[in-house]
Amino acid sequence: MTDSDINTEKSILLSARRIFTIKGFDGARMQEIADDAGINKALLHYYYRTKDKLFEAVFKEVLNVIFPKIISILQSPIPVFEKIEKISLTYIELLKENPDLAIFVFHEISRNPQRLVENFRNAGIDFGIIRKQITLEAKQGVIVSVKAEHLITNLISMCVFPFIAKPVLKGMMGMNEEDFQQFIEERKTVIPHTLISSLTPNK
């Protein structure tokens, strides 16, 4: 009912994503997903045979939103500083538009870590390339010498974590929803600034 009934299969996927995100895999009920999609529960099993397969369909769809954008940036021939800026911007914008995407992915991490890693590999994300670039630019003196692992981890941490911890941050720092949106908007520049100023040589 919520979604147009033009395409049942698609509206199931939408409802499933909604419910799985809020409740997690174990907390989600097939009946609830069916209700949300405005259909009979048996119809879920008609389109996606099992709960597992339904989840997997949702999961793959979600990853297809995340991966392509990040990959194209990582592989583009621009300096590290620019990549940091672009990734911050793209990542935060993506998560701002799909606020529970981070929570959904991390639900899956604790449920089935292996599968996510495999999807990463299949997506063609090659960590070696960015590592090479970072060590190269460090040797050239463009940036301070730093382990690629830490730089990337710092970047992703600062972009993603606020969305996972959103309610805690809001509560702790006394923000309302508008404040939080503003806060997230600011991070588009704060994160690159933090990383770049810590990476700029000549102190």
Partner DNA sequence: CCTACTTTTGACCAACTGGTTAAACCATTT
Partner DNA sequence: AAATGGTTTAACCAGTTGGTCAAAAGTAGG
By the 10 Å C-beta count (0-12 exposed, 13-18 middle, 19+ buried), 90 is classed as middle
136 binds, among a second copy, DNA, none (CB under 5 to 8 A by kind): none
The DSSP line for the chain is --S-TT-HHHHHHHHHHHHHHHHHHHH--HHHHHHHHTS-HHHHHHHSSSHHHHHHHHHHHHHHHHHHHHHHHHHSS--HHHHHHHHHHHHHHHHHHSTTHHHHHHHHHHH-HHHHHHHHHHHT--HHHHHHHHHHHHHHTSS----HHHHHHHHHHHHHHHHHSHHHHHHHHT--HHHHHHHHHHHHHHHHHHHHHHH-S--
Give the interface segment with a second copy, choosing from 39-47, 88-96, 133-141, 179-187 (CB under 8 A).
179-187
181 binds, among a second copy, DNA, none (CB under 5 to 8 A by kind): none
- By CB under 8 A, the residues from 119 to 158 that bind a second copy are 120-121, 125, 127, 147, 149-150, 152-154, 156-158
96 binds, among DNA, a second copy, none (CB under 5 to 8 A by kind): none
139 binds, among a second copy, DNA, none (CB under 5 to 8 A by kind): none
Rounded Cα distance between 108 and 129, Å, is 27
How far is residue 62 from each of residues 59, 68, 100, measured CA to CA in Å? 5, 11, 11
**Considering CB under 8 A, how many residues would be counted as binding a second copy?**
55
- Among 6, 97, 174, 178, indicate the residue that binds a second copy (CB under 8 A): 174
70 binds a second copy (CB under 8 A): no
Distance in Å, CB of 9 to DNA, minimum: 7
Residue closer to a second copy, measured from CB, 78 or 173: 173
60 binds, among DNA, a second copy, none (CB under 5 to 8 A by kind): none
- Among 117, 145, 181, 185, indicate the residue that binds a second copy (CB under 8 A): 117
Question: Which stretches of the chain bind DNA, using CB under 7 A?
Answer: 5, 8, 28-31, 39-43, 45-46, 49-52
- Among 7, 60, 79, 113, indicate the residue that binds a second copy (CB under 8 A): 113
Token output for 171: 């509560």
120 binds, among a second copy, DNA, none (CB under 5 to 8 A by kind): a second copy
